Amino acid sequence: MTTPSIGHEELDQLLRGEHGQPHALLGPHPGKDSVTIRAFKPLAERVEAVYGDQRVRLEHEYEGFWTGTIKGTDVPGYRLEVTYDGHTQTVDDPYRFLPTLGEVDLHLINEGRHEQLWDVLGAHVQHYTGPLGDTVSGTSFAVWAPSARGVRV
C-alpha cells in the first residue's frame, strides 16, 4: 500500500505559517481503500498510529512530517505513540478532530452575514469521546484573518 505524498512546497507553507488549511494536510484522510494519516512531530524518532490492538508505523516524510496508511476507508479512533530521545508518549492527534468552523460558517463570515460569530470564533472548550471511550477535552481556537501571514521572529 503506497502512501500519497504532498509536495515539499505545500509542507513548507505550513512550516512558515502561510498555509490556510492545516486540516487539508494533517490528520486522517480517507482514500479509495485506505486512510492516510499525517502528523507533524518535529524531533521525533518514531511515530506510530495506535487503534484497538493494531498499530501502524508512520514514516518520516519531510521536516518533521510523518505519514502512514491504515487499511480500510473508515477513520479509526487512533492515538499517536511518539518517541523522543528514547522516551515514548501516547498523545491524541488534534487533527483527528474536524475543524470547528464549518463550510456554512465560512460562507456566512465571507459574506458578512454570520449572526452568531461568538459561537464559532475565539476560544471554546470542546469535549469529544476518545478512541478508548474516554473523554478528550481541549480548547479550539478559531480566528477569521484571511490575509494573515505567519512571521518567524
27-46 pLDDT, tens digit each: 999 988 999 999 999 999 99
Q: Enumerate the domain spans of the chain.
A: 1-96, 97-146
- CA separation for the pair 50, 55 (Å, rounded): 4
Q: Rounded to the nearest 5°, which phi and psi values hold at 106?
A: -60, -40
- How high is the pLDDT of residue 60? 94
CA 148 remoteness from chain centre: 20
Q: What is the per-residue pLDDT across 46-100, written as a single tens digit (0 to 9) for each?
A: 999 999 889 999 999 999 999 999 988 888 889 999 999 999 999 989 888 877 8
Partners of 49 in beta bridges: 56, 80
Q: What are phi and psi of 119, to 5 degrees?
A: -80, -20
- Residue 53 CA to residue 48 CA, distance in Å, equals 13
Contact (CB, 8 A) for 47 and 80: yes
Distance in Å from the first CA to the final CA of the chain: 41
- Specify the DSSP element, H or E, that contains 111: helix 103-111
Q: Which CATH number fits domain 1-96: 2.60.300.12, 1.10.3720.10, 2.60.40.10, 1.10.260.40?
A: 2.60.40.10
- pLDDT range class, residue 25, cuts 50, 70, 90: confident
Distance CA 18, CA 33 (A): 31
